Amino acid sequence: MAYRRRPYLAGSAALVTAAALLGACTEANPGFNARRDSTSSGADVTIDAGVILDDARRDGPEVTDAVPPLADTTVDQPPPPAKPVGVDVLVVVDNSPGMEGEQARLANDIKNLLEQLDKLPGGPSYRIGVVTTDMGIGQPNITSSCGLAGDAGHLFIRSQCVSRPQGVNYIEVRGNNDNVQGSRTDALDCMLRPGASGCGFEQPLEAMYAALSGANPGFLRPDAALAVIILANEDDCSAADKSLYLPSSTQFGPYRSFRCFEFGVICDGSKPARAAAKYQSCVPGQSTLHPIKARYVDFLSKLKPAGWVSVLVLAGPNGPQPIQVNAEGGSGNTQSYDVAASCQSGTLSGTPAIRLQSFSDAFGPLGDFASICQSYGNVLRTFATRIQSAF
């Protein structure tokens, strides 16, 4: 949502000890012990063999030595098979202020996706990891919430999700075995609620890029399909020009997330004015933000064979109603503006996700876009059929 100041959370990253590999386990349910999160069922969730990132971390040391998963994907791999043997799911969750309701809805409805993934041809084989939209702003301690690198695209498990520091940073299911001792749904319920104290300049596309291009070695399997889910109540603001995020960059106007709209899209054929206005049609444009196709669509398309990548975006719809820009506080050079919500339902709302909708549209029949203000159950079931089409 629109950027707001709030207390800055000093971060810390906890590096934990690797647990024994599944092959060495003698229990019927190998991997990590997962006791359910107290926020959902009264029990804990414990996860073994990996990295735990505390949800309060913002500017802590970058974690680059996450323990590899069951298979080593850092070495040369043979060509992928004609069909994938499983799917790796990356969920990018907006953790900016005001996102508690949307996170809770996704956490509640994610079971609809799991039910379908458990029916994958050849038996279920999937991984699910979560990252946040907080990528920082490239400068330390500039504001109360936006630090140097944010969560930097690292997969994480909130400290509340575990009863002791022995955890991998994603859920893995192979046939009848998984690395969750207890309910997968409860474990994901905890993982999908990263809180709402992240940076108000949301960068879901850059977080996705970082997560899949080196921040999490071993997460992606060369013989697995890839599914990306993005939950965000504002549009993507992944800037090529990082000065957009700095309060001192007054050429971008008042220090609000309206900067992302003004310098990230083209409306009715021109750059949006810094004024109250109504626009009939807006598309991604200008050079301040990263290009959608060249940096993100092409990147994902090159990671996997054709038909192996599917995308779902849950955000504010871009149309069919005109996009409204409203004047907010201030006057003269300090006059600020905000983009009005394009959907609202109770406490849920979303502003037009022009860039994010363009991103999902680029994947054709394998790209889905749905309103963040609706129930996600049917959307997730439909998305599962997109994933299954690769098998």
Residue 103 lies in a domain: yes
Please tell me the predicted confidence (pLDDT) of residue 48: 42
Contacting residues for 176 by C-beta, under 8 A, at least 6 apart:
123
pTM score: 0.81
Residue 327 lies in a domain: no
Residue of 360, 268, 345 lying closest to 313 (CA atoms): 360
| Count of domains forming the chain | 1
pLDDT of res. 51: 37
Domain of residue 129: give its range.
13-61+84-238+290-318+344-388
Considering only CA atoms, which of 383, 340, 312, 40 is closest in space to residue 187? 40
* Spatial separation of the C-alpha atoms in residues 290 and 214, rounded to whole Å: 19
Please report, rounded to a whole number, the percentage of residues in the chain having pLDDT higher than 90: 65
The position carrying tokens 């006059």 is 335
Identify the pLDDT of residue 157: 78
> In whole angstroms, what is the distance from residue 208 CA to residue 290 CA?
13
Confidence of residue 81 (pLDDT cuts 50, 70, 90): confident
* pLDDT per position as a tens digit, 4-48: 333 333 333 333 333 333 333 333 333 333 333 333 333 444 444
The pLDDT of residue 273 is: 95
Residue 334 lies in a domain: no
In a domain, 274, yes or no: no
CATH (domain of 362): 3.40.50.410
Of the listed ranges 46-60, 66-80, 358-372, the one predicted with least confidence: 46-60
Question: How many CA atoms within 13 Å lie on the side-chain side of 117?
Answer: 28
Structural domain includes residue 324 = no
Mean pLDDT of 164-174: 70
CA–CA gap between residue 377 and residue 391 (Å, rounded): 22
Mean pLDDT computed over 62-87 = 62
